[in-house]
Structure 1
Amino acid sequence: MTDAERTAALAGPPEEVARLLLEAAEAGHAEAQLLTGQIYLDGNGVARDAAEALRWFGLAAKAGNPMAMNMIGRCCEHGWGTVIDKALAAQWYRSAADRGLAWGMYNLATLYTLGEGVSEDKAEALNLFERAAALEHAKSINMIGSFYEDGWVAERNLVTAASHYRKAAEGGDFRGQFNHARMLAEAGDLDHARHWLSKMTETATPAFREKARMWMTQQTSPIWHDDLIRAVD
């Protein structure tokens, strides 16, 4: 089941969706077990219960569901229903990644980038981001742009960075949309920069929107004037 199909499966009245999912999950359907874990994690149609979410993710993972493996990693990384254990999170992300799941590759790559739960290894991180990017994972494409912009492992190349940010933006990643807008503005294309900043606000978290706004207000270049800042308000 794709991310879009999962979203559609959860689109009905929450309590009714929860009832149907629980019936299927209890009958042993791994995808339903995964989705049941998600509704318990989100408190969507049921009382929020991270420990119960983790239990359902575990059942789905036991049946071989890669996304469930990834979600167990998320629980271990963030302490949802269990203690924080980033080394264990890395193991679960690797299990998901080894089964071809782009999210598993992305999450494992992030740990390698930061050196959390694993030894810092930006070369391995870039390799994993590139594997996920080949599967059109927008967040990974954005991260590759960051590697080229900052000169991590790869030689610094702003043209390549800009190309990746554009692809990530078009793929719907709000961080990619901000980075794409940032590069457009610096190149003098303020109209398109404003468009992508506005697009970013449709899906960006409140914390990221505030971070983006703060970054813009701290810039000394005249291109970051009130007109562009208002696009993220």
Structure 2
Amino acid sequence: ILGYFNYYGIITSENNDKAFNLFINASEKNHTLAQNFVGLCYDHGYGTIKNEKLAFEYYEKAANNGNIGAVYNLGISYKNGIGVEKDYNKAFELLKQSAEEGHIMGLMMLGYCYDLGIGTKIDKQKAFKLYQKSADSGNMVAQNNLAVFFEKGNGITKDIDKAIYWYEKSAKQGYELAKNNLNKLQNY
């Protein structure tokens, strides 16, 4: 637990080096959340030198041990080629698994896959439903994506008022793309 406190700066100042070392120790004891955090540290260079291959290995280890956040991170790794060759089909399956387990970012990214046809055929209706579910849970990226659907009428009835509503919700959370989209919509 000290690793999380140091990682997020809870009750202590943020210390990524210390957090990384604590996560490594816990991960060696098969603590799946720590394994996922070791992957994040390697992925982003927090407390250690960035190493995408090791990030992928730790995500895979944690995912194989049942950590749903790691399943999501593994899906993103396959989608973006982080530490592994891009494989959109594997990415889709892993993101689908994380979404089915209720991972909010997994829901949003599964919607994104259906929206753009990543590892699956394009299905705007499924994308819309997944964005809606993730947006309702407070995900600012999904809120922006949902607003785009309402603004453009992507597979749904165009509704500018709903587009503004969702852009505003996302923008209030600090999502810059939503702020820009809202500004463009209101000024054109």
2:71 matches 1:105: yes
Which residue, out of 104, 115, 126, partners 1:149? 115
Moved more, 194-203 or 106-115: 194-203
CA distance in 2, matches of 1:226, 1:48: 41
Aligned length: 184
Q: How does 1:208-227 map to 2 (within 5 A)?
A: 209-215=175-181, 224-226=185-187
Report the structure number with the largest CA radius of gyration: 1
Matches within 5 A, 1:89-168: 89-168=55-134
Deviations 1:82-132 (A, max 9, x none): 111111000111111112222101111111111121010010000100110
Structure 2 portions without partners, runs of 5+: none
> Aligned equivalents of 1:171 and 1:48: distance in 2?
27
Identity of aligned residues (%): 27
Give the C-alpha shift of residue 215 in structure 1. Answer: 4.7
Asked whether 1:200 is paired with 2:166, we answer: no
- Tell me the TM-score normalized by structure 2: 0.88
SS in 1 for 2:135: helix
| More RCO (CA 8 Å, sep 6+) | 2
Write the letter of the residue equivalent to 2:162. H
CA contact (8 A) 2:27 2:35 kept: yes
> TM-score, structure 1 length as denominator?
0.72
Please point out which of 40, 46, 49 is paired with 1:83: 49
Give the secondary-structure state (helix, strand or coil) at the position aligned to 2:130: helix
1:43 corresponds to which residue? Answer: 9
Of stretches 131-140 and 194-203 in structure 1, the one that deviates more from structure 2 is 194-203
Q: Distance in 2 between matches of 1:85 and 1:120?
A: 17
User: Structure 1 residue aligned with 2:24, among 48, 58, 61?
Assistant: 58
Unaligned runs of 5+ residues in structure 1 are 1-31, 219-223, 228-233
Q: Who is 1:74 aligned against?
A: 40
Distance 1:67 1:101 in 2: 7
